[in-house]
Structure 1
Amino acid sequence: MLIEPFAGETVGSVFRRLATRNAVPAGELWTTIRHERPRLPLRTTPELVPRLVEQLADLPPGFFDSRRADRLFVRCVHVNWRHSNCSMCAPLPAPITRCRRCTNGEPVEVRTRAGAVCARHRRWHYAGADRDLARAANFFRAERCLTGTLWERGIGPDTGELELATTLIRATDLGQEDESHRTALARHYPEAVRLVALATEPWAERFLANTNVGPIQVAALVEAAVNAVTAGTSHDIDAVRASFHAEGRETVIGLDWPMRLRHGRSPGLDDLGRRILTFAPRVRATLLRHTDARKPPARQPRPSSRHAQV
């Protein structure tokens, strides 16, 4: 019996569903394949034979070839180092589980331009969850921001920025510091997306990339950004945008205490800022990850005519 595949479905997902549909353990199906291809590893790894899985599932050749529209944007030489979903350089997002309502209850894994929310069925589906979001308009706004603005900055559900953002937001509530990332993201998704969007805007990118800006100033920026997005007002967010500028060896911070700081001087962090300061290098590296440039894959050298004749 065959299955109906979903757009962007992974090789492993199709393989597992095909085995389940035919009441064959996935390990047994893999053993059968290894009888024909004994060099394959003992561990069930259908990702190594996508063309064979296409044949088993009666899918058209090339079904598992990724669509450019699903790729995360990246800076590369092919577009003058601007962000683009270049077919040669841009990576696919990490696999995510699809909404169970969309798949009629089947566990399906895809690599598509999507986040953690199904707008069609108004469900939270991250990591296999299935939670009603009928009255949570802020989650749908966050999903549009993630798959729009953030996607075009190279940021997806599992590229690291959202995990960092939930960690930073949880730092404001000591009673929730021990919860898992999955649980925290389900509670703080709108705030986490807003925080990532704010902290990866061009002005913030310039501030964080300035080598004369030290960890204390980084902590001050992130502290202000966390407080602004958790407060939830556009006025607070606009104030953060207007208040952090790096000029050579001077950092200008002008929130509640307008000041001009020399490199290394403390802006007077509160408890949240001091906690952020303990992992400032990780904050900086994660929030600047999307600015990294990609080089195209190296081409394999062409064989010489002498070798070609052998």
Structure 2
Amino acid sequence: MIMLSSLPIGLSLYPGETPASYWSRLCAVNAIAEKDLWLALRKRDRALPIRVTPRSALAYIELLGGLATGALLHDTGGLACGHGGATRQVECPTCRLIPPPVVLCKRCASGHRIVVARMHGPVCLRHRRWCSNPDDVDVIARPDHLAAQRVLNGPLAARGVHYRSPEVRAAAELLTLHSPGDGVEGVNEDEVRFFSRRVRLTALLTDSRLVNILMVPTVGTYALAMILDQIVTAHAMGHRAALGVLDGLQLQGRELRIGTCVVPIQGGRTLTPSAQRMLDRAKTIRAHLLHHRVEPVAR
């Protein structure tokens, strides 16, 4: 059992707050340098690394802050990665679902800088503000943005897809390839403007009905370009049209049925101009769309 006294001033833990964020706040509120406190911990436990590494001393930090045992581990992703630091997190089936740390909405954090590791998009639903970048934009008049953030918090979070994931980047690229003149690859103003379109398309592209087709290695580049083009086109027509395309996807032997259209899974065929632009990127986009964990269902 670790015997260690708490610091004079304890802090509550924000849901999903990273150990590094809590450690920094704890040191700041007690007016002690992070390096000095870490050296004091290393005198007690020589197994700790020389560099300040809060995730290596979770039990000590919990005692110093007066937290319950296991609070930091529970709020920063549950189970720890058994691979340690020798394996990249994207190769771990547990760690790859934990999104990269992001700064919490300043209004939710009472003006403090709180870094959290959880499924967290750029829109704060509580305050209805865009808070992903330095621009603090009011989105109360944009119900589609609020709905898109709920999709991020709900279905996409359950699939392990966060806002900065390869899947969302693939959706943004497909929108650009489908309509090059829209300028959906921009940042700041364009990112806010096209946020809901990207998220809604990502939800369609990570649907299990489509993913089951993408996971078949024999589906060729031309067939992939046709599928992706059909999905983006239907997405522009509305959610019901897009669901109709997903329902119509069916793999039968060497043929792929896309609604009423039947195409061979291998070989070339005539493509629309937008599908032709997607052709060279089809396999790369497929790899990005399969980044998240998917439970395969019967085809």
Measured against the shorter chain, the TM-score band is: 0.7 to 0.9
Structure 2 contact 221–279 (Cα < 8 Å) conserved: yes
2:242 equivalent in structure 1: 237
1:173 equivalent in structure 2: 180
CA distance in 2, matches of 1:20, 1:282: 45
RMSD: 3.2
Shift of 1:108: 0.7
Q: Does 1:107 align with 2:113?
A: yes
Unaligned runs of 5+ in 2: 1-8, 80-93
- Report the AA paired with residue 280 of structure 2: T
With over 3 angstroms needed to count, the CA separation of the structure-2 counterparts of 1:177 and 1:122, relative to structure 1, is closer
The percentage of counterpart residues that share the same residue type is 29
Deviation track 1:23-64 (CA, whole Å, cap 9, x = no partner) reads 444344434433444443343211111111112222122111
Structure 2 contact 208–294 (Cα < 8 Å) conserved: no
- Report the AA paired with residue 29 of structure 2: R
Q: Does 1:117 align with 2:119?
A: no
Shift of 1:291: 4.3
CA distance in 1, matches of 2:11, 2:130: 25
Structure 1 contact 166–185 (Cα < 8 Å) conserved: no
- Report the AA paired with residue 118 of structure 1: C
Structure 1 contact 71–90 (Cα < 8 Å) conserved: no
2:227 equivalent in structure 1: 221
Q: What secondary structure is seen at the aligned counterpart in 1 of 2:219?
A: coil
Structure 1 contact 210–246 (Cα < 8 Å) conserved: no
CA distance in 1, matches of 2:247, 2:11: 54
With over 3 angstroms needed to count, the CA separation of the structure-2 counterparts of 1:176 and 1:24, relative to structure 1, is farther
Deviation track 1:99-149 (CA, whole Å, cap 9, x = no partner) reads 110001111112335433211101223367643211111111112112222
Shift of 1:20: 2.6
Structure 1 contact 100–130 (Cα < 8 Å) conserved: no
- Count of matched residue positions in the alignment of Structure 1 and Structure 2: 272
2:214 equivalent in structure 1: 208
Unaligned runs of 5+ in 1: 73-87, 294-310
2:4 equivalent in structure 1: none
With over 3 angstroms needed to count, the CA separation of the structure-2 counterparts of 1:164 and 1:178, relative to structure 1, is closer
CA distance in 1, matches of 2:107, 2:226: 43
With over 3 angstroms needed to count, the CA separation of the structure-2 counterparts of 1:240 and 1:291, relative to structure 1, is same
Structure 2 contact 209–247 (Cα < 8 Å) conserved: no
- Report the AA paired with residue 173 of structure 1: P
Q: Does 1:4 align with 2:12?
A: yes
With over 3 angstroms needed to count, the CA separation of the structure-2 counterparts of 1:66 and 1:275, relative to structure 1, is farther
Structure 2 counterparts to residues 269-308 of structure 1, below 5 A: 269-292=271-294
Structure 2 contact 97–161 (Cα < 8 Å) conserved: no
With over 3 angstroms needed to count, the CA separation of the structure-2 counterparts of 1:267 and 1:140, relative to structure 1, is farther
1:298 equivalent in structure 2: none
Candidates 242, 249, 252, aligned match of 2:254: 249
Q: What secondary structure is seen at the aligned counterpart in 1 of 2:66?
A: coil
Candidates 156, 177, 189, aligned match of 1:150: 156
CA distance in 2, matches of 1:106, 1:160: 29
Structure 2 contact 128–140 (Cα < 8 Å) conserved: yes
CA distance in 2, matches of 1:27, 1:168: 46
Shift of 1:12: 0.7
With over 3 angstroms needed to count, the CA separation of the structure-2 counterparts of 1:30 and 1:218, relative to structure 1, is same
Q: Does 1:95 align with 2:101?
A: yes
Structure 2 counterparts to residues 66-81 of structure 1, below 5 A: 66=74
With over 3 angstroms needed to count, the CA separation of the structure-2 counterparts of 1:211 and 1:9, relative to structure 1, is same
Shift of 1:250: 0.6
